[in-house]
Every structure is written in structure tokens, then in C-alpha cells.
């Protein structure tokens, strides 16, 4: 029995359009022009208990809208949605007790209060039993290494520290469902690793169901067996990472910083896709040419300051899936 069922969800927003210039602004006062944005256009999926799903897509694709509907904050225009057998926006309060949410770009902690006081407030808000709260808090504090942060006012925390505290804050009431909306956004490498590690353990040890939205492909690679790709309000792909990559492209990108901006890197196994001053980006297929081989060849033939290899960004993959759909 799935924990979350979403069927043909549609959500539109009316956005007021501003016309440029003073005259446009004045006309806007008298008559507003509205544009309808379809944030969700028939989204369907189902989640079993204990699944960890990566929900990816470019900005404005509809990720956060989906999460907000699942949290009971937004009401969709059409479609069916059930979370633990409840319609979230009808039973917002009951739903809220079973759900933990982290919005990565904002904090749920009280800005002027020490972290521990925010935790105690949340204990009161969710009416967590003192014994349960104590056990949960100690466990989270140990897992996320929060001990030195508990007495610090939130405004003095770094982004990475704050995110760790936010993660703990959303789990104090031990919810069976967790929505993490871009929890690694803006974090440095060490903090990202800490967050990923924690999410992994959360799934393994507590068996909670997790929806993770992110722009970071590395988050997905490290954490998710199943990936939902959404763009322009539609689910484009639903499957494992391997399936997704295999379906789209196996390619990697090699970015080279050249000493001489006039030099032109050419290689039989790689194609140039971008060049900006000293920096060139080439794409290649690691099944045709191995990474060390290509790097060796390029660095032998050209004067190079720096280079790195990466996966194509999510936007690229999504764009290709989208392209595939059209053709």
C-alpha cells in the first residue's frame, strides 16, 4: 500500500504581469494583465514506505509546488493526492504531525533564540512526549554533531551549521515522512557531505520515506535509487539513476583552463561544446575513451592551467529528456 499517492495533479498560478516603464506601471494600476502559469500539469507518482526519492528538475519546474501540496500548504486545481490515506489540504493539521519538512532556502529556527530553545518550542508545538523528545533530541544531536551549537543564537550560525540544526528540527517529532526541499543549496563540500550522510542514515536506520528535491546531481548519485524528473509541471522520467543516464546519455564533460586563450583544443574522441576566454568545455563518451587517457592526451598536447571532469548538469539532462520527448 503506497504511503503517498499523487494522480494527475494540476496547479496553476495567476501571475500579474508588469509592463515595462513608467507608462506601463501606470497602466498596470488601472488594469492588471494576468498570465496563467501551469506549475503542475498532470503529475502522477506513488511512493512506498521507506523509499528515498530524488525529485529533480530546473528552477520553476514544479518541485516545490508538489512538496507544498503534499504538505497541505497549497491546494491543487485538479487531481488526487493522498498522504498516509489523508488528503493533505483537508487535514492539514493531522498531516502536519506526520510530516517533517526542510525548505533549504529558509530556516524554521527562531532567529534570535538559541538553537535548543527552538527545539523546545517545536516539542511544544508538536506535543512530543518528554521521554520521546529527549531520546530523539539526543540521537539527532549525536548524529548531526550539534552539541557545540545548541546554545548559540541561530543568527550566529553558518549556513552549514544552520542546515544541520534545521534537519534536526524537522525530525524531533519523529515523522514517518520527510520532505527535504533543496537541503544542500549553498552549502560547502563538507556540510554537503554531512547532510548526505545524515539522510542516508535516516533512511537506513529509521526507515522513513524521504522526498529529496535538489539541483545537485551528486546528492542524487549518493542517495537515491529512484529519481523523478519534472519539467514544466510534467513528470518526464521515473526510474533509477542508471536507467536515467542510460536513457539520456553516458557522456561526461571535460573543462580545461588553458594558459593561452588563442589555443584550440581538438581531440578525435571529444567535441567542444563551449568556450569562454581561457576556458573550454568538451564532451566525451567514457565508454569510447577512458578519462585518464583523454586527460593525458589533452595535457600532453596543450599548455593547461587546470582541468576537471564532471557529469552534465541536471538542466542538460532534463533538456535532453525533454528533447527526446518532442522528437
Partner 1 sequence: MRAYWAIFQARFRVLLQYRAAALAGFGTQVFFGFVRVMVFDAFYRSSSSVQPMTFPEVVTYVWLGQAMLLLVLFRPDVEVRTMIRTGTVAYELVRPLDLYALWFSRTLAARTGPVLLRAVPMFIVAGLFLGLEAPASWVCAFLWVAATLAAVLLSAAVATLLTVMLLWTVSGEGLAALGPAMVFIFSGMIIPLPLWPEWAQPLLDFLPFRGMADVPFRIYMGHIPPGEAVYALLHQAVWIAVFIAAGRWLLARGTRRLVVQGG
Binding-site ranges for partner 1 (CB under 8 A): 13, 59-60, 63-64, 68, 71-75, 92-94, 96-97, 99, 101, 103, 105-108, 110, 112-113, 117, 120-121, 124-127
Nearer to partner 1, 229 or 294 (CB): 229
For residue 294, what are the CA distances in angstroms to 73, 98, 259, 299?
50, 51, 18, 8
- Find out whether 149 and 157 touch, Cβ atoms under 8 Å: yes
- Tell me whether residue 64 or residue 191 sits nearer to partner 1 (CB atom): 64
Closest CB to partner 1 among residues 13, 322: 13
Report the residue number, 64 or 209, with the smaller CB distance to partner 1: 64
DSSP 56: E
Name the minimum Å distance from CB 64 to partner 1: 5
**Burial 230-252, CB ≥16 within 10 A → b, else e:** bbbbbbbbbeebeebbeebbebb
SS3 readout for 26-39? HHHHHCCEEEEEEE
C-beta of 107 vs 161, nearer to partner 1: 107
Q: For residues 152 and 274, what is the distance between their CA atoms, to the nearest angstrom?
A: 46
Q: Report the 10 Å Cβ neighbour count for 49.
A: 14
Q: Looking at beta carbons only, is 78 or 246 nearer to partner 1?
A: 78
Task: Give least dist CB 90 to partner 1, A.
Answer: 12
**Element at 253 (helix H, strand E):** strand 252-258
As measured in angstroms, the least distance from the Cβ of 80 to partner 1 is 19
> Whole-number minimum distance, CB 96 to partner 1, in Å?
4
Name the minimum Å distance from CB 82 to partner 1.
17
Minimum Å distance from CB 326 to partner 1? 25
Shortest distance (Å) from residue 179 CB to partner 1: 9
Query: Long-range contacts: 234-241, Cβ < 8 Å, 24+?
Result: 234/41, 234/42, 234/43, 234/62, 235/43, 235/44, 235/45, 236/318, 236/321, 236/322, 236/325, 237/321, 238/45, 241/54
Say how far apart CA 233 and CA 69 lie, in whole Å. Answer: 13
* Comparison of 99 and 317: residue with beta carbon closer to partner 1: 99
Residues 6+ apart with CB under 8 A from 119: 137, 150, 168, 169, 172
Amino acid at each position: 500500500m503506497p504511503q503517498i499517492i499523487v494522480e494527475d495533479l494540476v496547479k496553476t498560478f495567476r501571475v500579474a504581469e508588469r509592463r515595462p516603464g513608467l507608462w506601463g506601471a501606470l497602466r498596470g494600476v488601472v488594469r492588471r494583465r494576468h498570465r496563467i502559469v501551469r506549475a503542475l500539469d498532470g503529475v502522477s507518482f506513488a511512493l512506498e514506505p521507506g523509499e528515498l526519492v530524488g525529485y529533480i528538475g530546473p528552477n520553476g519546474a514544479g518541485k516545490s509546488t508538489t512538496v507544498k501540496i503534499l504538505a497541505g500548504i497549497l491546494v491543487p486545481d485538479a487531481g488526487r493526492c493522498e498522504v498516509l490515506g489523508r488528503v493533505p489540504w483537508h487535514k492539514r493539521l493531522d498531516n502536519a504531525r506526520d510530516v517533517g519538512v526542510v525548505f533549504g532556502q529558509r530556516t524554521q529556527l527562531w532567529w534570535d533564540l538559541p538553537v535548543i530553545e527552538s527545539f523546545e518550542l517545536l516539542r511544544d508545538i508538536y506535543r512530543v512526549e518528554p521521554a520521546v523528545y529527549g531520546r530523539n533530541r539526543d540521537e539527532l544531536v549525536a548524529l548531526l554533531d550539534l552539541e557545540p551549537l545548541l546554545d548559540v543564537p541561530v543568527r550566529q550560525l553558518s549556513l552549514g551549521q544552520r542546515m544541520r540544526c534545521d534537519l534536526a528540527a524537522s525530525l524531533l517529532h519523529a515523522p514517518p515522512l520527510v520532505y527535504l526541499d533543496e537541503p544542500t543549496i549553498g552549502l560547502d563540500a563538507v556540510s554537503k557531505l554531512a547532510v548526505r550522510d545524515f539522510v542516508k542514515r535516516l533512511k537506513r536506520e529509521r526507515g522513513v520515506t524521504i522526498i529529496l528535491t535538489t539541483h545537485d546531481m551528486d546528492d542524487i548519485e549518493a542517495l537515491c535509487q529512484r529519481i523523478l524528473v519534472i519539467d514544466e509541471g510534467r513528470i518526464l522520467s521515473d526510474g533509477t539513476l542508471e536507467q536515467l543516464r542510460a536513457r539520456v546519455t553516458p557522456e561526461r564533460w571535460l573543462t580545461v583552463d588553458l594558459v593561452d586563450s588563442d589555443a584550440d583544443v581538438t581531440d578525435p574522441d571529444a567535441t567542444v561544446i563551449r568556450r569562454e576566454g581561457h576556458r573550454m568545455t568538451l564532451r566525451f563518451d567514457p565508454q569510447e575513451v577512458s578519462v585518464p587517457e583523454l586527460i593525458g592526451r589533452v595535457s600532453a598536447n596543450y599548455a593547461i592551467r587546470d582541468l576537471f571532469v564532471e557529469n552534465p548538469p541536471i538542466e542538460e539532462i532534463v533538456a535532453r529528456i525533454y528533447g527526446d520527448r518532442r522528437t
